[in-house]
């Protein structure tokens, strides 16, 4: 994050009603970043890359599942430009909802690619693999991404299975502000 993207270093001392310093990831990581998304959810990211989310009450869910969620193994940030009319994190989530075996790969140009296991092999997912209605171009689902927080980029947190495929994916809204702890 650029200095202009960060709120005051001491602006937050609590997360989910507890002292931030009391949080430790299952791998022993200590708090490194505290982020908030446009919908008000907060993410506490530890120095080992794990994340715990405190989901806000917002219009998409009506507050039905607000509150502290389980730890996730990984958090990444995706450029806000849509891929086939949706964000990259939503495409990943939709593939998981369809019970596809999915993983994340990298293209030669360094973008993140949604990979699906189909017909006995891994391949780059196209819009038509994940969505019923195809955009005008049946493009490969790929996007610029970062492993460090970026203002206005969409959040994706997920767990990894032992074979490298994804589970428990959560597509979040764009980062509105944050602080490096």
Helices (H) and strands (E) in the chain, counts: 2, 14
Judge whether residue 24 has pLDDT over 90.
yes
Residues 6+ apart with CB under 8 A from 12: 20, 34, 179
What is the number of alpha carbons within 13 Å of residue 48 lying toward its C-beta?
A: 13
- Per-residue pLDDT reduced to its tens digit, 43-57: 999 999 999 999 886
Q: Are 33 and 149 in contact (CB under 8 A)?
A: yes
Q: Are 118 and 108 in contact (CB under 8 A)?
A: no
- Per-residue pLDDT reduced to its tens digit, 88-147: 999 999 999 999 999 999 999 999 999 999 999 999 999 999 988 766 678 899 999 999
The pair of structure tokens assigned to 60 is 């998409």
Give me the residue spans of the domains in the chain.
Answer: 3-78+146-180, 88-143
Residues 6+ apart with CB under 8 A from 67: 16, 54, 55
- Per-residue pLDDT reduced to its tens digit, 48-92: 999 999 988 656 555 567 789 999 999 999 999 998 888 999 999
């Amino acid at each position: 994050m650029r200095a202009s993207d960060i709120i005051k270093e001491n602006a937050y001392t609590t997360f989910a009603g507890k002292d931030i310093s009391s949080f430790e990831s299952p791998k022993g990581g200590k708090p490194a970043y505290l982020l908030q998304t446009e919908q008000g959810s907060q993410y506490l990211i530890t120095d080992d890359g794990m994340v715990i989310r405190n989901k806000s009450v917002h219009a998409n869910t009506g507050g039905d599942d607000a509150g502290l969620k389980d730890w996730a193994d990984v958090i990444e940030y995706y450029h806000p430009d849509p891929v086939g009319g949706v964000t990259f994190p939503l495409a990943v989530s939709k593939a998981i909802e369809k019970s596809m075996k999915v993983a994340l790969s990298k293209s030669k140009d360094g973008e993140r690619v949604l990979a699906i296991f189909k017909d006995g092999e891994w391949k780059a997912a196209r819009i038509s693999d994940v969505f019923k209605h195809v955009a005008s171009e049946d493009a490969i689902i790929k996007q610029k991404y970062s492993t460090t927080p970026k203002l206005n980029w969409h959040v994706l947190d997920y767990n990894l299975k032992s074979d490298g495929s994804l589970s428990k994916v959560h597509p979040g809204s764009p980062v509105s502000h944050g602080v490096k702890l």
